Structure 1
Amino acid sequence: MSEAPPGILERFRRLIRRSLAARLATIAIVSVLGLVAMGFIAHAQFNRALLRLLIDPEIESVADNLIGNSGPGLAGELALQDLPYDPRYLQPLSGRYFQIARIHDDLLEVQVISPSLFDVNIQLDPKLQAELTAANAPRGPRYIDVAGPDNEPLRVIARVEQIPQLEGRYLFLVGVAPRAILAPAANLVGLAFAVFVAFCALMVAAVSVLQVRVGLEPLHQLQRDIASVRRGDSERLGGEYPAEIQPVTEELNALVDHNREVVERARRHVGNLAHALKTPIAVLKNAAADGKNNEVMRQSIDEMEAFVERQLRRARVAARAEARAGAQAPTIAYRTPVLQNLEDLIFMMEQKYDHQKAVDISIEAEGDVTFRGEREDLLEMVANLIDNACKYGRSQVIVRLLPPFESNGLMEIVVEDDGPGLSDSEQSLAMARGARLDEAAPGQGLGLSILKETVDLYAGELLFERGELGGLKARLRLPATD
């Protein structure tokens, strides 16, 4: 069954995820729509302000005039002594109207209307009429918007007053059609707002184009520089980039440097393998020529096989580190608890040297620490140090686990013995590839140099110094996780 094609919203989401230009364009469109909405809101607020400034004072003045000129007529009804001075209240359907009605309970008895109303009345919504004519309604003017003749919108002032010498209360309504007054100003302001919004929209569009063309140009330059490095035209990214992109270029340069280091390390591994196999091959040749030293041949073959396996394991570690390369933590994907592995390793060393010499191996730790790397690499590095300490120490080996330093986030494993130790020159020689300080011990002299390469692979540190027990103190610093 075929899948349904993605909808418009899903296609838009995919476009936003894949394109920075689409994101900038979307922001520009939303900004323009926001400007248009703000323009409509501002225009409406401007019209309301014009109502309060131009119309409300006029109808309030006319209402005061009507109330002042109201009095009893010949038949006891309300009559006006003088009409408003504005002749437009006399002209039919002029847009200026007034109406006076007597309040009977909830009903209105219209007694006076302006000639401009001709033969119609100003009708009020029943609910609004009830609010205006209620006995407990607040006194004072109230401005309302109602429908006038021909359903023309009216701005009306409503006042309930008592007239001397007349019984009851009277509702005075004075209304003006705002369209005739506000239309010229509203058209001018509407045009101004339209021009302003159009200008802002064009500016937003222009800025968005500049952002896409100019703002994203460093990314295009970065793409070209990376392609140059990939083709071999450049060794590193050396251009000037904005501060927001500079960290990315630094990480990419670190990745390039790391890959170059991995290649160099692979070359060294090949050299180590060739160096290690020279002696066993020579022994095999001599044994083969003799035809009697089968045990020597077996031992040499075992040594070659072990070393080849060791180098293959180191190559796999380097390959994993290359795949997860970073500026400071090539194997950040791994988390290995340290304390339990140290305890297991010490137990194995005690079993190994139990029948060879009396060595007391102790561990000191305030708490557990998590190594940012693989367990096999941790065991290989620490085992090398503890094995050497047990081999050359007299009777005591101490292993200490220290928490990460706040400055660089490296935990520390200290291995100390009470053996003869190493002088400064011997410490430097011990780290050299193929160098051996003890010719009586089996091996090819590559243990510490390969250990140093593994430490460097994890951006760690390996230091040698004279310990408190009188022998060698090895300080292994490795990256730790939080």
Structure 2
Amino acid sequence: MGGFRSLTARVLLLATAWSAVALVVIAIVISQLYRQSSERAFTDLLRAQLYNVINSMTIGEDNKLSGNPQLGDLRFSQPETGWYWIIEPLGTFAATPLSSSSLGTSNIKVPTILSVPFNNRYERFYRTNDAFGNTVLVAETEVVLDGEGRAARFRVSGNLAVVEDDVHGFSRNLYITLAVFGVGSLIVNGLAILFGLLPLKGARRSLERVRRGEVERLEGRFPREIMPLANDINALIESNRRIVERARMQVGNLAHSLKTPIAVLLNEGRLGEKVPSDLVRSQAEAMQTQVQSYLNRARIAAQRDSLLARSEAEPVMERLVRVMRRLNPDTKFHLSVSPPSLAVALEQQDLEETVGNLLENAARFAKTDIWVAIAPSSPPPGSEGEAARRAWVELIVEDDGPGLEPEQITIAMKRGKRLDESKPGAGLGLSIVSEIASEYNGTFNLDRGAHGGLRARLLLPGVTRDAA
């Protein structure tokens, strides 16, 4: 079974089997066609010789058959050849039968007219054996020779060994030719297959160099069929490299962000006094927020370039809007997803958190209406390379509230900043949306919408139709 795990062995085996079957079928078909053609030509030859005999025969003044058929074939004069002509008077015509010298005093077996009837040309052809063991084909007809109605039966036979020898000789040459052609084709096919699979070996060697650390990506010129695979492998290598670098950076950032709360707690502990519970709770909440934030970033980073990061936009949006309508019965939500099959290259959890934060923020400040729309979009300005080639979607959440001024937008985007302390919330929603969009290489911005309120615009990576 080991050989069948080799792509080269499989292709060679299939090519060999198909070529062998095809050549055998071709040989059989051509041989049968040639046999039919030879038998048809043999029959036509006997018919022509039959009518040559008929044309050469007359009834003499002595009421006897006379004539000397000249068929141009010495086999009609050589004994036991199987090539004969025979003329037998019919009815009251009592002339002496005539035959070729090759027949001698013997005769050939003749089937009855019932078993082999005449055709519409008043001819019949049948196979029989002569007295010498030859299998012959006989052409027979009956002809009226004069105005008095005297008739005779004419027969001309030919030895079928001629046809068999011809067919066997042709078939032998055909089989030899096809065998040589088949062996040559197998050699050429084998070389073509080995040559065609060379790029795979080149890709394997390049991948081994990557594994040994000699290069950072697959290098070389690959055929169009293999280039997408090479590009995907390079993208995977680059993604893994970015994940490792980002993990190192985020571990350092997390350690730095936890250093201050931990130092505060340790300092309070050294004082020997009872540490206030509010201080402990605030510092613990700060550390929990930082840990959760970096865990989310690590999870998003691991899924960002994965083919499995995919969410159907319509069911997610409808579910979130349905929940918001129940929580805000006095607010009208207008949802548009075009096309309905639109998919976003985000984990469903991240898409839900992003849209949920935007809807909650809009619901807090909207007067009566909120508009939610998601549709395909062009790449972000300045995009190049893979970012410019991939699909993108635009998500817009707009309300008819008071909106924000440019300087207020800058403050609102900062983590933990709230412009209106009278409204519920922790001030983390917009910053979380911005972080998620950034982690997926998207963009997020706020401005004043057409209805006077705040418009949140997200540009996120989409899923192409091929990937879908």
How far 1:314 moved relative to its partner?
Answer: 4.5
SS in 2 for 1:337: helix
How far 1:420 moved relative to its partner?
Answer: 4.6
Aligned to 1:130: 114
Residues 397 and 415 in structure 1, CA contact (< 8 A), matched pair in contact too: no
Cα distance in 1 for partners of 2:326, 2:262 equals 32
Between the aligned residues of both structures, percent identity stands at 25
Aligned to 2:354: 381
Aligned to 1:416: 398
Name which of 237, 241, 247 aligns with 1:260.
241
Is 1:339 the counterpart of 2:317 in the alignment?
A: yes
How far 1:263 moved relative to its partner?
Answer: 2.5
Aligned to 1:209: 190
User: What TM-score results when the alignment is normalised by the length of structure 1?
Assistant: 0.72
Cα distance in 2 for partners of 1:286, 1:438 equals 33
How far 1:259 moved relative to its partner?
Answer: 2.0
Q: 1:348 to 1:184 in 2, by over 3 A?
A: closer
Aligned to 2:295: 312
SS in 2 for 1:402: strand
Cα distance in 1 for partners of 2:323, 2:252 equals 30
Name which of 10, 18, 22 aligns with 1:34.
22
Cα distance in 2 for partners of 1:16, 1:166 equals 84
Cα distance in 2 for partners of 1:150, 1:294 equals 127
Aligned to 2:437: 452
Residues 141 and 159 in structure 1, CA contact (< 8 A), matched pair in contact too: yes
Is 1:295 the counterpart of 2:281 in the alignment?
A: no
Aligned to 1:7: none
How far 1:256 moved relative to its partner?
Answer: 1.7
Cα distance in 2 for partners of 1:320, 1:38 equals 56
User: Where in structure 2 are the equivalents of 1:73-112 lying within 5 Å?
Assistant: 79=65, 81-84=67-70, 86-100=73-87
- Unpaired runs of 5+ residues, structure 1, are 1-10, 105-109, 352-358
Q: 1:243 to 1:125 in 2, by over 3 A?
A: farther
Residues 39 and 163 in structure 2, CA contact (< 8 A), matched pair in contact too: no
SS in 1 for 2:201: helix
User: Where in structure 2 are the equivalents of 1:233-272 lying within 5 Å?
Assistant: 233-272=214-253
Aligned to 1:22: 10
Q: Which moved more, 1:166-175 or 1:153-162?
A: 166-175
Residues 66 and 80 in structure 1, CA contact (< 8 A), matched pair in contact too: no
Cα distance in 1 for partners of 2:216, 2:369 equals 47
Q: Tell me the amino acid that sits aligned with residue 375 of structure 1.
A: Q
Cα distance in 2 for partners of 1:152, 1:294 equals 122
Q: 1:92 to 1:462 in 2, by over 3 A?
A: farther
Name which of 365, 368, 374 aligns with 1:402.
374
User: What TM-score results when the alignment is normalised by the length of structure 2?
Assistant: 0.74
Aligned to 1:363: 334
Cα distance in 2 for partners of 1:385, 1:116 equals 111
Residues 8 and 194 in structure 2, CA contact (< 8 A), matched pair in contact too: no
Aligned to 2:386: none
* Per-residue CA distance 1:138-183 (angstroms, 9 max, x = gap): 0165666555555534344333433436768755331222534884
How far 1:221 moved relative to its partner?
Answer: 0.5
Is 1:62 the counterpart of 2:35 in the alignment?
A: no
Q: Tell me the amino acid that sits aligned with residue 321 of structure 2.
A: E
How far 1:237 moved relative to its partner?
Answer: 1.2
Cα distance in 1 for partners of 2:394, 2:450 equals 17
* Per-residue CA distance 1:271-324 (angstroms, 9 max, x = gap): 4533543554455456655635312322332343344345434434544567xx
Q: 1:39 to 1:65 in 2, by over 3 A?
A: same
How far 1:265 moved relative to its partner?
Answer: 3.6
Q: 1:333 to 1:192 in 2, by over 3 A?
A: farther
Q: Tell me the amino acid that sits aligned with residue 398 of structure 1.
A: I
